[in-house]
Amino acid sequence: MSRRTRKPLPKRNAADRPKGERPFRGAEGRPHGHRPGNKPAKRFAVSAPRAPKPAPAAEQPKDEAALLPTKVQTVPVTADENNMRVDRFLEARFPGLSFSHIQRIVRKGELRVNGKRADSKDRLEEGQSVRIPPLKLDVPRPTAHLSEAGAKTLAALKEMTIYEDDDVLVLNKPAGLAVQGGSGTTRHVDQMLEVMRDAKGQKPRLVHRLDKETSGCLLVAKTRFAASALTGSFRHRSARKIYWALVAGVPKPKQGRISTYLAKEESEEDSIMRIAEHGDEGASHAVTYYAVVETSAQKLAWVSLKPVTGRTHQLRAHMAHIDHAIVGDPKYFNKENWELPGGLQNRLHLLARRIVIPHPRGGVIDATAPLPPHMLQSWNLLGLEADRFDPIEHAPEE
């Protein structure tokens, strides 16, 4: 569901609050890594969505290729880009580049960090120098009628769509569908978007990502102009995201803030994000607000989550850190002698429920995704009411 136009919500006092609604009490206990002395955080006030305003014609670059470097250049990594992956760094700086072109220049060693070859998954540090080779856009493909397979893919994308205009697309990504390709992955969203190339050969671009088993709101830019604006909104934390999860046990306090450092830990079989110390190699600060919405026999809790930062596996690692891992998580659920209640599927119970972000041409995009089938089944079996008030909307933003 996408809400495109509505009047701003009126301010309410305590007497006007609906029955069962309680203000967010994130200060209760200030759990798990909260650093004393932090300034009071601003309230989480989601602006009401407004119809996008028409943009002046000059806002759209006439020559989009002119934004790409035509000769070798060396640029410093900024504070905002600290700990960013090499491929994400290029995507953020040059939204017009395709994923395959980025992988190609990195694989050939044309991009170097402090004079050395880099892998696309390497993390950058503030102050490092990145050598960027001349870049070019993909050659537009001639328009042609879609094959039968292409038509089916386009229909599948339309079925997933919960918001669309000339610049932006919000998909309800199903659990089990990868966002980008990888080892052994033959079907993914990035590949599916090939069927949406326009007459100029422009293909819609991913603006952020979700784990393969996480369902819900996935933001896609349909133009280079929108890609640049939306990527900037994520970098400057103007995008607000809300997730729903089913977790083991009931967190205490029922509303709180999780603040830790996270670092990637590699093994021969897998890689996970571990809780780290400030100053550890590759460690990044991560902040999550959580609120218990409803419980089931004190064994399970429906939790609403608001990530302030956007680290890999942040919500999954943070909930496991406070000993309330997300049900069905194959990487982070490690509670001993814990049995899945009858009827519940052993799949990741995590939904990217809502995204609120400034529209590139004015106004606000506010999109909401429904519970995926396996989570809806769990909600029904446990008697959880999906239309209950969600207290995380009033959580702080810092």
How far is the C-alpha of 112 from the C-alpha of 133, rounded, in Å?
A: 9
Question: Using an 8 Å Cβ cutoff, are 75 and 81 in contact?
Answer: no
Element (H, E) at 227: helix 224-235
Catalytic, out of 211, 329, 366, 390: 211
Q: Which amino acid would we find at residue 184?
A: G
The DSSP-derived string for 253-317 is: SSEEEEEEEEEEEE-SS-EEEEEE-TTSTT-EEEEEEEEEEEEETTTEEEEEEEESS--TTHHHH
Q: Quote the Cα angle for 58-139-99, to 5°.
A: 85
Question: Using an 8 Å Cβ cutoff, are 177 and 188 in contact?
Answer: yes
Q: Is the dihedral of CA 192, 195, 196, 197 positive or negative?
A: positive
Name the nearest CA neighbour of 294 among 396, 390, 395, 394.
390
Q: Strand pairing of 112-113 and 116-117?
A: antiparallel
Active site residue 211: yes
Burial class of residue 58 in the structure, from the number of CB atoms within 10 Å of its CB (0-12 exposed, 13-18 middle, 19+ buried): exposed
Cα separations in angstroms, 193 against 44, 66, 198, 222, 319: 33, 24, 11, 10, 33
Question: Using an 8 Å Cβ cutoff, are 324 and 301 in contact?
Answer: yes
Query: Could you tell me which residues are beta bridge partners of residue 355?
Result: 241, 367
Burial class of residue 216 in the structure, from the number of CB atoms within 10 Å of its CB (0-12 exposed, 13-18 middle, 19+ buried): buried
Active site members:
211
